[in-house]
Amino acid sequence: MTSISEVDAVPKSKKPSDSAFKQQRLPAWQPILTAGTVLPTFFVIGVAFIPVGIGLLYFSDEVKEQTIDYTNCNSTNITGSDRLPMKCADVIAADPHSLCTCEIHFNLPVDFVGNVYMYYGLTNFYQNHRRYVKSRDDNQLLGKLDELVSSDCEPFAYEEVNNTKTPIAPCGAIANSLFSDELTLFSIKHNKSVPLLRTGIAWPSDKNIKFRNPEGDLKKAFQNFAKPKNWTKHIYQLDEKDENNNGFQNEDLIVWMRTAALPTFRKLYRKVDHDKDGFSGGLLLGNYILRVKYSFSVSAFHGKKKMILSTTSLLGGKNPFLGIAYIVVGSLCLVLGIALLIIHIKCSKSKLM
């Protein structure tokens, strides 16, 4: 009779079980690439991709865009010692809290038909930096105010005055660097300002889910919190024209908090109100004035600032890359297909001889 100790002494086998899967006896299929299968594939891809690419380019070209670089615009309210206008960039670099305004005249060469959108564009601004992306407190942005803010917001978590720390709302580097230029348009043809909508520019999912205001009066809710260091207004004062567009549900803030993936990007700033007289069909060709309250400095990181007016198509904004990519891939497939077909014919003839 075998004892328990003898049974335990027998080593357990590491051999896999005798199954089709573990013994690698499953049936397999491997395609055999022949001229009869490869050549038609190349031709089909080429014939399909090129028309799609042409269509994408057509819709992209239908989009009208006007870009105005106002990085180095001259001040209209500040002059230098020689009584010449100074660049607003130099004024803000010397004193970030000074008020500088500038104007740029430009011409729309064609009618912008349909819905017209105003964007601001920045270059060389790395919103995709790991520490920058993390520098926020999502619980705070949901309206759950707490004097103990997230450590991810450091060093933009507290304002220290006379050894007293006051929590910042909204905290973090993203909110602290909020785009603060104020852009308006004036139509010389209509002799009035172009009506611009300040709401409806943020993603509904962001405004309804990710950003919430604390309950009750906003001023009282934020009375124990400091504004971010680079801000000139408190969060409950961001939009003086619309009380509902303040707090964490301010749409300019929501748009800015959705960080860009590349250092050169654009973000939606305003939409033209087409319900107003003179602008129902879009923006007519003619002369316009871009008026800027210049406060967002880009000289520290050698960036540029742009105002972009754009329409849209069925496929969105202007982006020729996808159409060009389809045409290039389709053309390469056709060229390769023709080249392989010639090689196949020559090699077949040589074998017969």
Residue 15 in any domain: the answer is: no
Residue 287 in any domain: the answer is: yes
Residue 323 in any domain: the answer is: no
The answer to whether 194 and 269 are in contact (CB under 8 A) is: no
pLDDT of residue 96: 85
Q: What one-character DSSP code corresponds to residue 248?
A: G
Residue 134 in any domain: the answer is: yes
pTM check: above 0.85: no
pLDDT digits (tens, 9 = 90+) for 270-313: 999 999 988 998 999 999 999 999 999 999 899 999 999 999 98
Domain that holds residue 213: 63-318
pLDDT of residue 241: 85
pLDDT of residue 162: 85
Residue 10 in any domain: the answer is: no
Residue 149 in any domain: the answer is: yes
pLDDT of residue 37: 86
Paired tokens of 90: 């130099």
Residue 132 in any domain: the answer is: yes
How far is it, in rounded angstroms, from Cα 296 to Cα 305? Answer: 9
pLDDT of residue 25: 85
Residue 327 in any domain: the answer is: no
pLDDT of residue 268: 96
pLDDT of residue 4: 53
Residue that is written with structure tokens 């889910």 in the block = 209
Q: Per residue in 75-106, is it b (16+ CB within 10 Å) or e — as a string? A: beebeeeeeeebbbbebbeeeeeeebbbeeeb
Element of type H or E holding 254: helix 251-257
Q: Per residue in 144-169, is it b (16+ CB within 10 Å) or e — as a string? A: ebeeebbebbeebbbbeeeeeeebbb
Domain count, the chain: 1
pLDDT of residue 243: 86
Q: Is the dihedral of CA 71, 76, 77, 83 positive or negative?
A: positive
Beta-carbon contacts of residue 341 (< 8 Å; ≥ 6 apart)? 35, 39
Splitting the chain (353 residues) into consecutive groups of 10 residues, what average pLDDT does each group show? 55 81 84 85 94 94 94 85 80 88 95 94 96 95 90 93 90 96 94 94 92 92 93 91 90 96 96 92 94 93 95 88 95 94 81 58
